[in-house]
Amino acid sequence: MSLIQGAQLQATQPGSAVRRAISRAWPELNSPAAWLVALILVIMPLIANGFFLIEIFATTLILGVIALSLMFLAGYGGMVSLMQLTIAGFAGYMVAVIGVSGNANISMGWPWWLATPMALALATVFGTLGGALAVRTEGIYTIMITLAIGAAFYYFTNQNWAIFNGHTGINTVATPHFLGVNWRSDIPFYYLALGVAAVCYFAVQYLSRAPFGLALQGVRDNPRRMAALGFNVNAHRVAAYAIASFIAGLGGVLQVWNYRQISPGSVSVGACIDILIIAVVGGITRPIGPFIGAFIFVMLRTFALDFLVKFGLDGNRFRLLIGLGFLAIVFWSSDGVVGLWESWRRRNAPPTGTIGNRHG
Amino acid sequence: MSRFIERHPAWALITIIAIAVLLWLVVAVWPPGLEAAIGRKRVFLNAVLNGITLGGLYFLVASGFTLIFGLMRNVNLAHGSLYLFGGYVGYAISVWTGSWILSFVVAFIAVALVGVVLQILVFRRMEGQDLRQTMVTIGLSIVFADLMLWAFGGDFYQIQTPNWLVGPIQLPLITAVKSSGDPVYLQYPLVRLVIFAASVVIGVAMWLALNRTRVGMIVRAGVDDRDILAATGVRIQLVFVLVFALGAGLAGIAGVVGGTFQSISPGEDTRFLLASLVVVIVGGMGSIPGAALGAVIIGLAEQLGSVYIPTYAIVVTFLIMVLVLALRPQGLLARR
């Protein structure tokens, strides 16, 4: 709902029909704050050093992409899937298994430009099959089934030595070198992650306004009515899973290139739930939410230790902090940090809101 | 039962044949060809008994989960944490007093109290918002897991089996015949059998309570339509609190059982949450007999899988879930 209102607010400025159409499709284009954030992100390597660039910002972008796939499913499709990280992890494992890694007995040694699309395709198939399973039931059951899939995959990677190399996982995964650039060195990797995140963000933004996205939101709000109107409800849902799986797969490939190793710990149930937390804390109705959530999560994960020790508490209680923060968000805001910010802005600036509405 | 046979003759036949084959495998002395093909009978029998007794444990966890879900539509993803908490409480009590039985009682009461507090302070505030409740249980499971890690550390704890239950007993199941012609009988740990019997008793008692008492009638009516039930003047909030307490208490008992069978450590909460999810999906959400059937199926699949195909055992469990979802999405014994 708030999405559509936002678009109307932006479209009130005078301009040609073409410009209005563009601004309706891309509300960020005439928001100065969005341009500022984009500029900061682009010149980030000038500001931040290697640690911040990779450990904070690139990690935020990667987690944000994975959480974005959950946001797409949950926000537009009404399906809360806990297996998005599992799909990302599957893509990561496939990069390691099909491509080059330190475990020569497992890896098939394909070059990265073959291994990566293959991994993405397999991850999309995996996620689509999981989604096809999950859409057989509705609503709250989706959580249970996707969590069961995620947990089963985690235990499977732990047990299986032939493909997934058991609990040690696969180490020293090769990263791409081309055009004379080592894409795992800090600055190129940051831009790679930023590029992927931007493409995914705008793709989701675009899809939400495309006929498919609108039909999906219709399915979310009233599946029976959409079915009566002639839409194939389940096909829309499975297609949404396919798109989300591809996005999650992109995040997974970046993640395995970032850490250069993958093990069952990367696909554990706790990590799956972290993605849900990121998306919910950030806000699940808008594509920007997951990135905000990921930034908060990564900052907390990195600095909670120092922070807690400074206040004389046990530094290992980072997860307690995360859990309590998540509980607070779920209790007091239905739309995460984005929702909190929106309501705060609405409360502090009522005149602008009414003007916008009058024009629209 | 007869209606099931009338409506699905093919499935009934397959089920009967499967049960008959299983019974024959358990009772008969295996011919040498079979032993050569799939290994010793003792291994198989142990796996089957382990599977059934593990099923008893899964039933204890999953029955509370399914009861809470059936009545309150609350997917309690903190159920694994309640299990683990019960295990830690049971361990503390058994170390402190040395009494195994007392640890069950205290674990039940302690975890049931946690359930009451949760229901009154948390879930009552967001009634009817299924998704939000589920999110809250996720948050709670994280908080509980970390609090327990804080209090008990990352060690493995095992609850001491009482002396009168230690050691194996001989079962009247022949595993092999010696060359001298003497039959060899199966030895099996007594404690597992006792616990399995206890979980059967609990299951039957729950079934009787649900189907033969007035409170059970109210709970069943609530599973079908809680709004109409509330409209008839039943104090539904009280029923909710009682059911949540019972479900949580069962998870607590299961924690003590799990601590005696196996061990308790951080991470077990996730394992048993997964087990109860799969059991409830297979058996049918909200159905106690479904939880029993699902628990035995999953327990058997897990144990037989880990004996015969060790690196793919979890896949068997998962495939069962997929099959059930594909053929009967509401679960094997669910009514809808």
CATH number of the structural domain spanning residue B107: 1.10.3470
Q: In 10 A of CB A50, how many CB atoms? A: 12
Residue owning tokens 């009638």: B217
Asked whether residue B25 is domain-assigned, the answer is yes
Per-residue pLDDT at A87 exceeds 70 = yes
CA–CA dist B243, B225 (Å, integer): 16
**Cβ contact B150–A155 (<8 Å):** no
What is the count of residue pairs from A and B with beta carbons less than 8 Å apart? 115
DSSP string for B69-81: HHHH----TTHHH
Asked whether residue B259 is domain-assigned, the answer is yes
Comparison of pLDDT for B62 and A318, the residue scoring more: B62
CA angle A136, A151, B43 (to 5 degrees): 105
Residue B5 main-chain phi, psi, to 5 deg: -65, -40
CB-based contacts of B102, cutoff 8 Å, min separation 6: B93, B94
CA–CA dist B256, B226 (Å, integer): 33
Q: Which two tokens stand for residue A14?
A: 């005078």
Q: How many Cα neighbours within 13 Å face the side chain of B134?
A: 21
Using the Cα atoms of residue B73, residue B74, residue B79 and residue B82 in order, give the sign of their dihedral. negative
CA–CA dist B135, A360 (Å, integer): 36
Asked whether residue B35 is domain-assigned, the answer is no
**Cβ contact A147–B77 (<8 Å):** yes
CB-based contacts of A153, cutoff 8 Å, min separation 6: A83, A86, A89, A90, A267
Asked whether residue B219 is domain-assigned, the answer is yes
On chain A, the residues whose CB falls within 8 A of the CB of B270 are 151, 269-270
B298 touches chain A (CB under 8 A): no
A29-47 confidence digits (pLDDT tens): 667 777 777 777 777 777 7
Residue B195 amino acid letter: I
DSSP state of A177: E
On chain B, the residues whose CB falls within 8 A of the CB of A145 are 281, 321, 325
| pLDDT for the residue numbered A28 | 62
Claim to verify: residue B7 and residue B125 sit in the same structural domain: no
Claim to verify: residue B69 and residue B26 sit in the same structural domain: no
Question: CA of B177 to nearest chain A CA: how many angstroms apart?
Answer: 35
Asked whether residue B335 is domain-assigned, the answer is no
Of residues B329, B325, B142, the one with CA closest to residue A152: B325
Residue of B nearest to A314 (CA): B150
Per-residue pLDDT at A4 exceeds 70 = no
Claim to verify: residue B14 and residue B103 sit in the same structural domain: no
Residue of B nearest to A320 (CA): B143
B315 touches chain A (CB under 8 A): yes
Tell me the pLDDT band of A249, cut-offs 50, 70 and 90: very high
Residue of A nearest to B73 (CA): A140
Of residues A162, A133, A138, the one with CA closest to residue A149: A133
B279 touches chain A (CB under 8 A): no
Residue A309 amino acid letter: V
Of residues B114, B88, B143, the one with CA closest to residue B249: B114
Claim to verify: residue B262 and residue B292 sit in the same structural domain: yes
Residue B151 amino acid letter: A
Mutation choice for B interface testing from A126, A137, A141, A285 by most B CBs within 10 A:
A141
Claim to verify: residue B318 and residue B291 sit in the same structural domain: yes
Q: In 10 A of CB B100, how many CB atoms? A: 20
Asked whether residue B192 is domain-assigned, the answer is yes
CA–CA dist A320, A334 (Å, integer): 21
Residue of A nearest to B272 (CA): A151
Taking the CA atoms of chain B, what radius of gyration do you get in angstroms?
21
Question: What domain count does chain B have?
Answer: 2
CA angle B104, B109, B115 (to 5 degrees): 125
Claim to verify: residue B225 and residue B114 sit in the same structural domain: yes
Comparison of pLDDT for B245 and A48, the residue scoring more: B245
CA–CA dist A251, A285 (Å, integer): 20
Which residue range(s) make up the domain with B58? 40-327
CA–CA dist A331, B139 (Å, integer): 10
Claim to verify: residue B322 and residue B263 sit in the same structural domain: yes
Q: What is the mean pLDDT of residues A305-332?
A: 77
Claim to verify: residue B250 and residue B283 sit in the same structural domain: yes
**Cβ contact B134–A140 (<8 Å):** yes
Comparison of pLDDT for A323 and B166, the residue scoring more: A323
Q: Which two tokens stand for residue A252?
A: 């997974």
Residue owning tokens 């709004």: B227
CA–CA dist B80, B264 (Å, integer): 12
Claim to verify: residue B114 and residue B210 sit in the same structural domain: yes
Question: CA of A352 to nearest chain B CA: how many angstroms apart?
Answer: 32
Per-residue pLDDT at A356 exceeds 70 = no
Q: Contact A279/A67 with Cβ under 8 angstroms?
A: yes
Q: Contact B256/B82 with Cβ under 8 angstroms?
A: no
Asked whether residue B182 is domain-assigned, the answer is yes
**Cβ contact B134–A143 (<8 Å):** yes
Prediction ipTM score: 0.76
Per-residue pLDDT at A10 exceeds 60 = no
Question: CA of B139 to nearest chain A CA: how many angstroms apart?
Answer: 5
Per-residue pLDDT at A124 exceeds 90 = yes
Residue B220 amino acid letter: R
Mutation choice for A interface testing from B75, B285, B311, B321 by most A CBs within 10 A:
B311
Q: Which two tokens stand for residue A203?
A: 């793709």
B 58-117 → A contacts, CB under 8 A = 73, 75, 77
A138-160 confidence digits (pLDDT tens): 767 788 888 888 888 888 888 87
On chain A, the residues whose CB falls within 8 A of the CB of B75 are 140, 143-144
On chain B, the residues whose CB falls within 8 A of the CB of A167 are none
Structural domains of chain A sorted by starting position, each given as residue range(s) with its CATH number in brackets? 2-10+48-359 (1.10.3470)
**Cβ contact B134–A156 (<8 Å):** no
| pLDDT for the residue numbered A258 | 86
Q: What is the mean pLDDT of residues A280-290?
A: 84
| pLDDT for the residue numbered B117 | 92
Residue of B nearest to A136 (CA): B329
As a whole number of Å, the end-to-end CA separation of chain A is 15
Which helix (H) or strand (E) segment holds residue B49: the answer is: helix B41-72
Tell me the pLDDT band of A6, cut-offs 50, 70 and 90: very low
3-state helix, strand, coil in chain A (%, to 5): 75, 0, 20
| pLDDT for the residue numbered B319 | 84
Residues in chain B: 336
| pLDDT for the residue numbered A353 | 43
Q: Contact B294/B280 with Cβ under 8 angstroms?
A: yes
Claim to verify: residue B14 and residue B89 sit in the same structural domain: no
Q: Contact A254/A119 with Cβ under 8 angstroms?
A: no
B143 touches chain A (CB under 8 A): yes
How many whole angstroms from its chain centre is CA B216? 20
Q: Which two tokens stand for residue A261?
A: 């190793």
CA–CA dist A245, A262 (Å, integer): 19
Per-residue pLDDT at A266 exceeds 70 = yes
| pLDDT for the residue numbered A360 | 33
Residue A83 main-chain phi, psi, to 5 deg: -105, 15
Claim to verify: residue B213 and residue B256 sit in the same structural domain: yes
Mutation choice for A interface testing from B69, B136, B141, B314 by most A CBs within 10 A:
B314
On chain A, the residues whose CB falls within 8 A of the CB of B139 are 277, 323-324, 326-327, 330
Of residues B214, B222, B213, the one with CA closest to residue B71: B222
Per-residue pLDDT at A184 exceeds 80 = no
Q: Which two tokens stand for residue B328?
A: 């009967």
**Cβ contact A270–B270 (<8 Å):** yes
Per-residue pLDDT at A95 exceeds 60 = yes
Claim to verify: residue B67 and residue B20 sit in the same structural domain: no
| pLDDT for the residue numbered B88 | 92
Q: Please identify every stretch of chain B with a pLDDT value under 70, giving residue numbers as ranges.
A: 1-2, 335-336
Residue of A nearest to B123 (CA): A331
Q: How many Cα neighbours within 13 Å face the side chain of A58?
A: 28
Asked whether residue B78 is domain-assigned, the answer is yes
CB-based contacts of A236, cutoff 8 Å, min separation 6: A77, A212, A215, A216, A219, A226
For the packed helices B313-327 and A140-159, what is the interaxial angle rounded to 10 degrees? 160
DSSP state of B213: S
Residue B162 main-chain phi, psi, to 5 deg: -65, 155
Comparison of pLDDT for B306 and A24, the residue scoring more: B306
| Stretch among A89-103, A223-237, B178-192 having the lowest mean pLDDT | B178-192
Residue of B nearest to A279 (CA): B135
CB-based contacts of B214, cutoff 8 Å, min separation 6: none
Which helix (H) or strand (E) segment holds residue B189: the answer is: strand B183-189
Strand partners, B189: B168
For the packed helices B41-72 and B268-283, what is the interaxial angle rounded to 10 degrees? 80
How many whole angstroms from its chain centre is CA B235? 29
What are the Cα distances from residue A132, in Å, to A124, A127, A147, B329? 12, 8, 15, 12
How many whole angstroms from its chain centre is CA A329? 19
